[in-house]
Amino acid sequence: MTPQEIAALRAGLRKARAAVPREQRLAMSRQIEACLAGWDVFLRARTVLAYRPVGSEAGTDALAQCVLDAGKQLLLPRCLKKGWMEAVRVARLDGLCPDVYGIPAPPPNVPAARAEEIDLLLVPGVAFDERGGRLGQGGGCYDRFLPRCAGVITGVAFSMQVVERLPLRAHDVRMDALLTERGIMCFGGRAPLGL
């Protein structure tokens, strides 16, 4: 696909996701959180990277609080500049401030964790495919961050965001698993083996 076709695909999928009524998105997000909360990989994880949903993305707020309540270490992404992010430990979900993209993130004075320490990574995206491919927002933050991680990389999305096949480039990292309101799909790699 050309860059223009990829941009059109992103725009179309964002528009379709945003067209889903808010209450329906919230209900699907709760189903996603329930699936994840019972997943053995999540139960065994000690350190979990979640994300703060933006716009119509699948929500993970209740799950992030569940991570904290379970005594696990919660990390959130903090984008430093265009295309670069780090994972930062947080003890609470309040006190976040906008990063370079305007996404709520830990403040700049909180030190980053090492990417290799993360057991489970929950990754948002515009679309995912049935082979573990991911189409992100286009900023490249996760593309640069994920190759440094040893944990189970799990896409999080609504089932309407899953397509048959995405155009993947050499630097694109495949997901080990994909979580939607319909359940968890594992693609090989680290997910079936657990931690």
How does pLDDT run along the chain (195 residues), one tens digit per residue?
777 888 888 888 899 899 999 999 999 999 998 998 899 999 999 999 999 888 888 887 778 888 898 899 999 999 887 778 999 999 888 888 888 888 889 888 889 999 999 999 999 999 999 899 999 887 788 989 999 999 999 999 999 999 888 888 777 889 999 999 999 999 876 544 454
Confidence (pLDDT) at 69: 85
Confidence (pLDDT) at 59: 80
Reported pTM: 0.90
Confidence (pLDDT) at 126: 92
Contact yes or no for 74/42 (Cβ under 8 A): no
User: What tokens appear for 40 in the block?
Assistant: 């053995």
User: What tokens appear for 38 in the block?
Assistant: 């019972």
Q: 102 φ, ψ to 5°?
A: 85, 10
Confidence (pLDDT) at 53: 84
Q: What angle do CA 122, 152, 136 make, to 5 degrees?
A: 45
Contact yes or no for 87/146 (Cβ under 8 A): no
